[in-house]
Structure 1
Amino acid sequence: MNIVIIEDESAIADTLIHVLEMDGFKAHWFNTAGAGLAHLKTKSADLLILDVGLPDGNGFELCKQIRGFSDIPIIFLTARADEIDRVVGLEIGADDYVTKPFSPRELLARVKLRLKSIRRQAESTSEQGQDVLRVENFDYFRGNIALGLTALEFRLLDALLKSSPRVLSRQQLMDFSSMPSEEAYERNVDSHIKSIRNKLQKVEFAECLKTKRGFGYYFEKE
């Protein structure tokens, strides 16, 4: 599983990378808010360890930006111990809060706890029936079959499913999916939709992704 670390202190990052990789995780480290945000917008990840104090921004503000396009579990890592900071962090969408100095093993246990909770939720959703698409680790599944979506394809399909059966224009899809500026043109949306349809074929949902000529696209379960 992929863990993203956004932390400007290299010594702390090295410790985290070591303990995570020793336990079988893949760790990706970024020392600025901008670099970490760019990665999360284009790559899938299973959990984020986020420092509050960063050289180019505030972790609280970064968390709010991430929550605009992702529900990835977030564990704040900070030198701040005040209760108000912990409360603010949790209220804006963080899942846990660890104060420096910390035990790497304790943090690892918290990481595992959050990931275990996600797996339980996914299993519960799966038990509700096989005739639905469910989300897990930034991909969509039918039963145990994963679509294998890219990060951008996931955001496009996620927008269509959450808006179903409302029609979304190409511009709305570009906006909802935070499509990178260099890719943000309408015909590129068509290309991604075609790829999503191809991937939906293996779970027999391709016909549910429909085109409203002259308007855009929508998802309708038949």
Structure 2
Amino acid sequence: MPRVLLVEDEPAIADTLVYALETERFEVTHALTGSEALAAYAELNHDFVILDIGLPDMTGLDVCRKLRDSSMVPVLFLTARDGEIDRILGLELGGDDYVTKPFSPREIVARVRAILRRAAATGANGAEATPPVTSPSTEVPATALHHDTTAMRIHCHGKLLDLTAHEYKLLLVLLGQPGRVFTRDQLLDRAWEDPGAVTDRTVDAHVKSIRAKLRTAKEGAEDYIQTRRGLGYLLSLS
């Protein structure tokens, strides 16, 4: 059974979600605080994290930031606020999706299943970030961007980009047709299973995160993704 870490300090909400998840054959660990969640994850890796942004000891964003130091486990944010800044920050930190309270427990279960399917399809469903395995016969070409179709990974100048499932899909769309301008709606349609559940600002947040990872791989590589103001984004490797 997939193992889910639920981080929620409101008992009524937590009890409802635990029941819904366990009914659908998920194994659930419930933590009331951010520190409890980090300790639980350190003790036992989980396949998924449902993370409330408003926690009593630290924000869910802080918990996600600490998790991302060593893990690419999928994260679904819960928030009582409908503030755009919370959503964008969560996505920039590597969150896979968010839901605003109040919500349906069945919707949460459906989103968890959908994200796990996407993560499995891109090889990103492991709780721990897996370092690339290389050997003299499998050296990664030191090209600007190289897509390993077998492992479903993208390298920048020979360095593995540590991408979330959505970041990988979005960059792959751009890489498929360098020089073509994609609108935000086109990117949403191609990189998200349910584009109607997110906004075009979600694309902006993911592009910003991808650019940061490109820059980490090689100074100036962030400029590979160019903005066409009022139109969208394109990939330029020239």
Q: TM-score range by the shorter chain?
A: 0.5 to 0.7
Contact 1:33 1:62 in 2 (8 A): yes
Deviations 1:150-209 (A, max 9, x none): xxxx78xx4xx45978xxxxxxxxxxxxxxxxxxxxxxxxxxxxxxxxxxxxxxxxxxxx
CA–CA distance in structure 1, aligned partners of residues 19 and 4 of structure 2: 12
Structure 1, unmatched stretches of 5+, are: 123-134, 139-153, 166-222
Residue in structure 1 matched with residue 25 of structure 2 by the alignment: 24
Q: 1:87 to 1:13 in 2, by over 3 A?
A: same
Work out the CA distance in 2 between the residues paired with 1:136 and 1:95: 12
TM-score (ref. length: structure 2): 0.53
Contact 1:48–1:72 (8 Å) recurs in 2: yes
Contact residue 47 and residue 125 of structure 2 kept, 8 A: no
Please tell me whether the aligned partners of residues 44 and 137 of structure 1 are also in contact (alpha carbons under 8 angstroms): no
In the alignment, which residue of structure 2 is the partner of 1:73?
Answer: 74
TM-score where L is the length of structure 1: 0.57
Q: How far apart, CA to CA, are the structure 2 residues paired with 1:162 and 1:41?
A: 22
Which residue of the other structure, out of 109, 126, 129, is the alignment partner of 1:137?
126
Equivalence for 2:108: 107
Q: Which residue of 2 aligns with 1:116?
A: 117
What is the aligned partner in structure 2 of residue 36 from structure 1?
37
Matched with 1:209 is none
SS at match of 1:77: strand
Larger radius of gyration: 1
State the secondary structure of the residue aligned to 2:85: helix
Asked whether the 8 Å contact 1:20–1:27 carries over to 2, the reply is: yes
Query: CA-to-partner distance for each residue in 1:5-32, whole Å, 9 max, x for gaps?
Result: 0110111110000000101111110001
| Structure 1 counterpart SS, 2:98 | strand
Paired residue total: 134
Q: Take 1:137 and 1:28, find their aligned partners in 2: how far apart are those partners?
A: 18
Structure 1 contact 32–54 (Cα < 8 Å) conserved: yes
Normalized per residue, the structure richer in helix is: 1
- Matches of 2:114 and 2:83, distance apart in 1: 24
- C-alpha contact 2:116 2:125 (8 A) present in aligned 1: no
Query: Contact 2:9–2:56 (CA<8 Å) still a contact in 1?
Result: yes
SS of the aligned residue for 1:24 comes to: coil
Shift, 1:137, TM fit: 2.9
Unmatched tracts of structure 2, length 5 or more? 136-238
Q: Which runs of 4+ in 1 moved over 6 A?
A: none
State the secondary structure of the residue aligned to 2:117: helix
Q: What is the aligned partner in structure 2 of residue 62 from structure 1?
A: 63
